[in-house]
Structure 1
């Protein structure tokens, strides 16, 4: 199929096509090959015309077409003579073998010449020059301010929008630049992302999701590209607002760019976000206006968890819901995880990647109420205010994931504190009403493990149904003892772990048809086989506290899988599930029970 598509594009579309593939493992065939070696003189000093230093420093420019104004500042940054633009134009005209000049900007005729000159600079010297140019670009930016962005102001503004990010990387100042919303709003999307990749690669760091470059990378992967500078700035404004980065958002507002729309409020998970606060309302498929006492309201229905919510259009406050079967009345609400009922908020991989769901939708529906537009998507919902409501046609939909390549995914990680179970964290994921503690007097006599006793009385267990499991209400069950023979009645003797003691065991719930049981003596948590064909390793956690720590992150990330805005992000989230399980309890994470639903298409 790829070969056919490439052929059609090349023949009928008259475009050049590059296809990224895995290495070809087929046997090599005999073919005539021509090996082109570098010219012997490639590294020999260049014969430069007069004003050699002026031409040499030009090689440090980032965009290859350099306005005379910028060339002049590059020379000054390199401690060269303060030449006028007229003098530089004359230098360019007298150097036809090296430079091309269009009357406004200069460029090297052969980029290999620029590469050779760049290699001649000591790193500290080059860093110094880049740093001085960054300072000039930032201090002089008011001169090319424009409602449509720097690029619209002319050649120097266009150079700044495209060149500042990489100059900042070379100067070691990229992080400071990317945290200034007044500047970020002006930068060309691709140039900014290219510089960010260079910055993080050089620092051997993963791209930070809580930065403007992380926002940009995640938007690109979600298909948000080919926009006007104002539209791009509006998206960055939304991302920073959803993340709670007011400093960045306020900077974008003060950038001088006309934003076609601004976020009013957000109940939306921005791509890359990994926080419990993003769980509600989950993916939203439909929106419509509804009458409500004393409020302007809209109702929403979920895409996976198909229950209904009602929201205040002005503030984004939740007025009612979640509710099953229709729009709720005022104050009607069900628990986040109704006891014994599956909400479909944690879908297995096969449901997410087949049956027409291979490419998630960033945006799904919208409704206009007065001058406010409420927008729904896989990450939830948010409200925007158009700059010109009468002319605003809506947010333009994304174009889908990049066809050939992307700039990476900037994914948050759960906080280090999630490595241990805590009542507050469990409440954030499951809802406070779902976390049940057991009174000391109600603990079973056969439960001797001290940590398990502490967890049940001080932390509690969540009662919920989801992610192929169902946990019982700890404060309501009778804690009947299970014997070794009963628990492992369907297990092949080879599957019974050596760590399994004689019991007694206590039922915590079920998972994929098997019983989740707590070893009363040793404190480990096991899942018994559902039948004779069930070959998952029974040990799922070395302790009850470890089980809850694994569970809280596991359920959070399983929910976020349904909210991802691209297949690439889903795959990153799936990998993060495995990494975090292994980080918490390496031995328990070896059980394929944790990952069975994540690889059910393999």
Structure 2
């Protein structure tokens, strides 16, 4: 299959569904765009499960919505009106996409709240995601209601009528193991949440209640596929840092809020254009930025000619001062009075390493079947900063301690 043929095939959901599994084997490494991304998501999530064409279209539609390819999802719905269900919206981590948000690992819940006029809102909270309120019709974030304006709907306040994935009604539709407790929202819609995100689905009653129109088959197997650059290849910007550290965990500084002694242009540009994390926590370790108050202009280099960037509390009584060279941007550490020793190539590398821990949390704690988050995490940090995995380097002992939060510990820190 040529690149042009591949692009044409995946550009048309109708052609893709008509090709069936036989026409989707041994695909070239490149080509396919948004359609191939959605297809790879569907195939990877199904993990070999056998489903008929119309039900596979539901999963193809889900993959497109998860990835933000809404126009492609509309084409899928047009190509297969017999889908038993469709995705209304999804705030979801795609398979193989290492993103900081959403991360509902550990303690988390999505509650259905109801106002006096019957209007519903979803209240989402978790230990790794700031509380947010969502419109169940669109998934858009909305302001928190006033105290007493909405009340949590009782758990047993179920809607009348069939519920999606009910084995007595939906003819054995494939249901992921993690989708255990549907929350009915009315109008044939239900909400599911699990560590990878929250999704609202709508049941197509006519299709779900009808006879299966084609044989159930496996639509293939494989790994996620993405057309664009990986996060490791993409530049840091303020939106990316805010996604990882939250708005109150990062700061954009102005040039006059930086140490006057700092002449390393890339470090200054990073702090002004993308920002710096003011707070980081993983396991029992925390980091606090020394420049967060915007009053670092008069900061002078220490006896080693280095500027204080921030401080790690690595464990009880275990303190690491993070220092930056004002001219080269190289990052060093003094740990419990010992050092300084090289810690990261430059400030951007240091920030990227912290951000990478947050981006891989969900994949390390709550991986999809066949997803190798821990392996891919170690590969990415080794490429970012070889010192972080060099057993002969003092820096490795510190980074190993930080990385253990997602490689060895649970979301609860033990």
Secondary structure of 2:87's partner?
A: strand
Contact 1:281 1:380 survives alignment (8 Å)? yes
Equivalent position SS for 2:222: coil
* Bigger CA radius of gyration: 1
Match of 1:408, SS state, is coil
| 3-state SS in 1 of match to 2:94 | coil
Alpha-carbon distance in structure 1 between the residues aligned to 2:399 and 2:228: 18
Instruction: Tell me which residue corresponds to 1:177.
Output: 9
Could you say if the C-alpha distance between residues 425 and 210 of structure 1 is closer, same or farther in structure 2, counting changes exceeding 3 Å? farther
Name the SS for the 2:329 alignment partner.
Answer: coil
Question: Is 2:308 aligned against 1:506?
Answer: yes
- Alpha-carbon distance between aligned partners in 2 of 1:579 and 1:594, rounded to the nearest angstrom: 14
Check the 8 A contact 2:66/2:92 in 1, yes or no: yes
Cα offset, 1:586, TM superposition: 5.0
Quick check: 2:134–2:142 contact (8 Å CA) kept in 1? yes
Give the drift of 1:465: 2.6
**Partners of 2:125 and 2:182 in 1: CA distance:** 12
- Asked whether the equivalents of residues 37 and 224 of structure 2 are also in contact (C-alpha less than 8 Å), the reply is no
Q: Does residue 373 of the first structure (1) align with residue 190 of the second (2)?
A: yes
Deviations along 1:366-423, one digit per CA (max 9) or x if unpaired, are: 200212111212321111111118977xxxxxxxxxxxx9533446775579554333
Q: Secondary structure at the match of 2:182?
A: strand
> What is the alpha-carbon distance in structure 1 between the residues aligned to residue 131 and residue 248 of structure 2?
20
Q: In the alignment, is residue 255 of structure 1 matched against residue 61 of structure 2?
A: no
Cα distance change, pair 450–272 in 1 and its aligned pair in 2 (3 A): closer
Deviation of the 1:211 alpha carbon? 2.4
Q: Which runs of 5+ in 1 are unaligned?
A: 1-168, 332-359, 393-404, 485-501
State the match for 2:43 in structure 1.
Answer: 217
Number of the residue aligned with 1:199: 27
Task: Name structure 2 gaps, 5 residues minimum.
Answer: 151-175, 210-219, 410-414
Pick the structure with more strand per residue: 2
Contact residue 310 and residue 320 of structure 1 kept, 8 A: yes
Please tell me whether the aligned partners of residues 319 and 330 of structure 1 are also in contact (alpha carbons under 8 angstroms). Answer: no
Deviation (angstroms), 1:243: 1.2
CA–CA distance in structure 1, aligned partners of residues 364 and 128 of structure 2: 13
3-state secondary structure, aligned to 1:520: coil
Q: In structure 2, what is the equivalent of residue 435 of structure 1? A: 250
TM-aligned CA distance change 1:461 to 1:170, over 3 Å:
closer
Give the deviation of 1:436 after TM superposition. 1.8
User: Does structure 2 retain, via aligned residues, the 8 Å contact 1:241–1:249?
Assistant: yes
Q: Is the 8 A contact 2:103 2:195 kept in 1?
A: no
Residues 424 and 241 of structure 1: CA distance in aligned 2, closer, same or farther (over 3 Å): closer
Residues 344 and 387 of structure 2 are in contact (CA less than 8 Å); yes or no, is this contact kept in structure 1? yes
Task: Say how many residue pairs are matched.
Answer: 355
Is 1:523 equivalent to 2:323 in the alignment?
no
**Equivalent residue number for residue 472 of structure 1:** 289
Q: Is 2:275 aligned against 1:460?
A: yes
Instruction: Look up the match of 2:62.
Output: 238
State the 1:542 CA deviation: 1.6
Secondary structure of the 2:199 match is strand
**Aligned pairs (5 A) from 1:48-63:** none
Per the TM alignment, residue 265 of structure 1 is displaced from its structure 2 partner at its CA by 1.6
Q: Is the 8 A contact 2:17 2:57 kept in 1?
A: yes
**Structure with the higher helix share, 1 or 2:** 1
- Aligned residue among 123, 126, 129 for 1:299: 123
Q: Is the 8 A contact 1:209 1:272 kept in 2?
A: no
Task: Let me know the Cα RMSD of the aligned residues.
Answer: 4.3
Post-superposition offset of 1:540: 3.1
Q: CA deviation at 1:259?
A: 0.9
CA distance in structure 2 between the aligned counterparts of 1:376 and 1:366, rounded to whole angstroms? 8
Report the alpha carbon displacement of residue 286 of structure 1 after superposing the two structures with TM. 3.8
Residues 32-71 of structure 1 aligned to structure 2 (within 5 Å): none
How far off is 1:438 after superposition? 3.8
Q: TM-score, normalised by structure 1?
A: 0.49
Structure 1 residue 262 displacement after superposition: 1.0
1:199-246, CA deviations, whole angstroms, 9 ceiling, x for partnerless residues? 23xx5899999524412332134xx71233322221111111221223
Counterpart position of 2:136: 313
| Aligned equivalent of 2:155 | none
Preserved contact between residue 464 and residue 471 of structure 1 (Cα < 8 Å): yes
Corresponding residue number in structure 1 for 2:205: 388
Shift of 1:253: 1.4
What secondary structure is seen at the aligned counterpart in 2 of 1:299?
strand
For 1:54, the equivalent position in structure 2 comes to none
1:527 deviates by 3.5
Shift of 1:185: 3.2
The residue number in structure 2 matching 1:229 is: 53
Instruction: Provide closer, same or farther for how the CA distance between residues 599 and 549 of structure 1 changes in structure 2, counting only shifts above 3 A.
Output: closer
